[in-house]
């Protein structure tokens, strides 16, 4: 009898692990254009989703489209500064940042950034906004209260996503040199950098402030975990292909990588230096961007359906992406359904 119970237990374990996370809601948003970063505003139950020439604001609980923030040319990232009721959205094609009212969603002014203004974050320690400008290899530092540029920091490489450690430092991935750069937000200078090897082409980033760990999702198919106090990589784990988003749930101690191959890699922190892959959740086509609500543990991803690339387009541009089917843009909600 004991042998039978043990056998049943062993057989059940993989099944439970395979069902740790699942898609619980699907919200069709529609609208034209592709997308980039998905930025949650959990206190106000909103998602800010970059959509080429605008930012779509979506209710996290109902999936309803609340508003669209216009006046953007090449939308990428959004940063919300809640205590002053303002938001900041990068406009990459005209090298600027749109400052907007986060309640009325009206544009207030355009701030000059630098070429290929891409990701953008708010650092609560310095109370400044940092945009990461890919082609310019810089970070533009903005005073959100005045709407003025404080500095442009030379990073020495092409930045992708970054995170604030909330103690006077900001960290950002350099995709072209496979490094992490540390910015001192008191002096607005680069204070350190280190390699993410064996991870190549780090793009997405999440942070565990309590244990001083950074999670860099890399296009080489791994996530690199760094001890940012020491400036070293302490672990790597395999993830899906085409990553562009990352997240960290401090309660569940799970890290996430959202991948363009239609998977969400879930990684558990066994200890600050030890990690294992829990599962790869099947999500949606090109669902490479994500946002996390740590209070509810819900993960928000965006996807769409795509048609075939016209034959004549393939002949002239072999790398052309397939066209998005009109009205198919969708938000997926993934939630934990068990423990691990």
Give the strand order in the sheet containing 189-195.
159-164, 169-174, 179-184, 189-195
Q: pLDDT per residue over 183-199, tens digit each? A: 999 999 999 999 999 99
Task: Show the CA angle centred on residue 18, arms to residues 15 and 20, nearest 5°.
Answer: 115
| CA quadruple 219, 220, 222, 226: dihedral sign | negative
Query: What is residue 309's predicted lDDT score, i.e. its pLDDT?
Result: 79
Is residue 315 very low, low, confident or very high in pLDDT (cuts 50, 70, 90)? low
Strands (E) across 29-158 are located at: 38-41, 46-50, 55-59, 65-69, 75-81, 86-91, 96-101, 107-112, 117-123, 128-133, 138-143, 148-154
Q: Which residues pair with 214 in a beta bridge?
A: 207, 226
Confidence check: pLDDT of 245 > 90: yes
Under 8 Å CB-to-CB from 22, ≥6 apart: which residues? 281, 334, 335, 337
pTM above 0.75, yes or no: yes
Confidence check: pLDDT of 113 > 50: yes
Do residues 338 and 20 make contact, with C-beta atoms less than 8 angstroms apart? yes
Q: Average of pLDDT values for 93-97?
A: 98
Q: pLDDT per residue over 252-271, tens digit each? A: 999 999 999 999 999 999 99
């Amino acid at each position: 009898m004991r042998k039978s119970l043990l056998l049943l237990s062993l057989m059940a374990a993989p099944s439970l692990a395979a069902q740790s996370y699942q898609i619980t809601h699907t919200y069709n948003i529609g609208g034209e254009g592709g997308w980039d970063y998905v930025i949650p505003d959990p206190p106000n139950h909103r998602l800010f989703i970059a959509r080429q020439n605008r930012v779509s604001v979506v209710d996290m609980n109902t999936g309803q489209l609340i508003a669209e923030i216009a006046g953007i040319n090449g939308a990428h990232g959004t940063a919300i500064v809640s205590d002053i009721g303002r938001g900041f959205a990068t406009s990459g094609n005209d090298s600027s940042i749109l400052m907007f009212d986060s309640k009325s969603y009206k544009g207030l002014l355009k701030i000059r950034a630098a070429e290929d203004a891409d990701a953008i974050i708010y650092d609560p320690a310095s109370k400044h906004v940092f945009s990461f400008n890919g082609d310019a290899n810089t970070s533009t530092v903005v005073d959100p209260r005045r709407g003025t540029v404080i500095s442009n920091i030379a990073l020495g490489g092409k930045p992708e996503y970054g995170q604030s450690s909330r103690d006077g430092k900001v960290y950002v991935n350099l995709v072209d040199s496979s490094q992490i750069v540390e910015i001192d937000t008191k002096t607005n200078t680069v204070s350190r950098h280190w390699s993410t090897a064996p991870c190549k082409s780090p793009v997405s980033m999440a942070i565990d402030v309590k244990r001083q760990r950074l999670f860099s999702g890399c296009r080489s198919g791994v996530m690199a975990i760094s001890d940012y106090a020491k400036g070293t990589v302490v672990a790597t784990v395999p993830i899906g292909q085409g990553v562009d988003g990352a997240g960290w749930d401090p309660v569940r101690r799970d890290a996430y990588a959202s991948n363009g191959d239609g998977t969400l890699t879930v990684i558990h922190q066994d200890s600050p230096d030890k990690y294992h892959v829990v599962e790869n959740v099947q999500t949606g086509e090109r669902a490479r961007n994500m946002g996390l609500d740590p209070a509810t543990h819900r993960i928000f991803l965006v996807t769409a359906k795509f048609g075939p690339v016209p034959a004549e387009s393939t002949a002239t541009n072999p790398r052309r992406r397939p066209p998005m089917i009109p009205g198919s843009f969708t938000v997926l909600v993934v939630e934990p359904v068990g423990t691990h």
